[in-house]
Structure 1
């Protein structure tokens, strides 16, 4: 696929929707914390830096049909929903600036590659927190491990649909060179996110925004 200098209709629509969502999310964030709270600075910008490095390492044959780890299930558990979106957006802007993603795909990547995976993970966390027993193994497996597999599957399936609907590739090319790789990524992504959260709640539980010692550990 040749990189076009123009935006398609779907890319423009995704860009406009992304701007609206980014505004709504940003309006609820207390940005003064990034100045006054050193812990917040380290977690938000440190997470963005880690994701930037992680997302720079990718593989793929066709432009856009590249595969890389996401780490977007551990992130909202670590930072919370809004700060996770902010941190991941910084990483996306970084990889776009360095040429790993095209500027035309910025809105699409935000919606399908950041917002959807983070929303799915936070949805899993909310349901398990309110509907299931608050047990550490439930937290690890149902909030990090399983969503880790589902988020990368969701992103790759959603992007496959986008590339097909926008006429950028035929479905055969997408299936043979991109979608088929999703089955290979499910377990490693799940393990990566599950191990991240496991190590954090063991060694640095105070860093994990959604983890509460009194609820998950006391009297267990």
Structure 2
């Protein structure tokens, strides 16, 4: 483990401790339904991230699902769920222990904050309508978030000197044109189904605002 890998580990753990969602413990103890949702989110995220494909080591592609986690749980709990999924990837050999810190920052923490920012901006400045929530906070948000994540990863690997920018662009960034729609569709469909059939699973969805008849 080099200096920068150690620094990303320390930053990851420091952020987890600083912003740990203390209300989560009580909620898990008191709400059986949320226990199932929380555990299911961890399992689905871990399995989703374990299906990877790529040309260069470290520049693998996989669907992210961070936008759905953020809209369901909020960014702090999404951080925790994503971090547990990272530990799963380390356990099955998909990610090295040394790279776990940088992977968590680039795959979980910064994309989750970015995704929440997109939601917050749409909530603040756009009409609070069901279709705005689904297509902007869900569909478009997911597409932008995975593009943001891939850009961060590309910059990190280039800065670390692992690959030339030409190699990163040709073997990684160009593939964003293929994966952004799949990511948007996955999250958009999940948000659509939950907003219709399980709106109480969405922490950021407010029936009295998004479904109000005068909007």
| TM-score over 0.5 for the pair | yes
Q: Provide structure 2 residue ranges, at least 5 long, that are not aligned to the other structure.
A: none
Match of 1:158 among 148, 152, 163: 152
Q: What is the distance in 2 between the residues matched to 1:166 and 1:102?
A: 16
Q: 1:112 aligns with which of 106, 110, 113?
A: 106
- CA shift at 1:80, angstroms? 1.5
- Residue 206 of structure 1 aligns with which residue? 200
Per-residue Cα deviation, 1:148-172 (whole angstroms, up to 9, x for no partner): 1111111111111111111122222
Pick which of 34-43 and 22-31 moved more: 22-31
Secondary structure at the aligned position of 1:160 is classed as: helix
Q: Is 1:57 paired with 2:47?
A: no
Residue 194 of structure 1 corresponds to which residue in structure 2?
A: 188
Question: 2 CA distance for matches of 1:112 and 1:198?
Answer: 27
The 8 Å contact of residues 29 and 82 in structure 1, kept in 2 or not, is answered as no
Taking the TM superposition and a 5 Å limit, the aligned residue runs for 1:170-181 are 170-181=164-175
TM-score by length of 1: 0.92
Tell me the TM-score normalised to structure 2 length: 0.94
Match of 2:127 among 130, 133, 144: 133
Aligned with residue 24 of structure 1, among 3, 18, 43: 18
Q: How far apart, in 2, do the equivalents of 1:32 and 1:202 lie?
A: 27
Q: Name the CA distance, whole Å, in 2 between partners of 1:148 and 1:188.
A: 9
RMSD, aligned CA: 1.4
Structure 1 residue corresponding to 2:80, chosen from 86, 105, 122: 86
Question: SS where residue 103 of structure 1 aligns?
Answer: coil
Superposed displacement of residue 32, structure 1: 2.9
Say whether the 8 Å CA contact 1:73–1:118 is kept in structure 2: yes
Q: CA deviation at 1:123?
A: 0.8
TM-superposed deviation, 1:110: 1.2
Check whether the contact 1:121–1:144 (CA below 8 A) recurs between aligned residues. Answer: no
Q: Which residue of 2 aligns with 1:4?
A: none
Q: CA deviation at 1:207?
A: 1.1
Residue 30 of structure 1, CA deviation:
3.3
The 8 Å contact of residues 43 and 79 in structure 1, kept in 2 or not, is answered as no
Report the counterpart of residue 30 of structure 2 in structure 1.
36
Q: Contact 1:152/1:186 (CA < 8 Å) preserved in 2?
A: yes
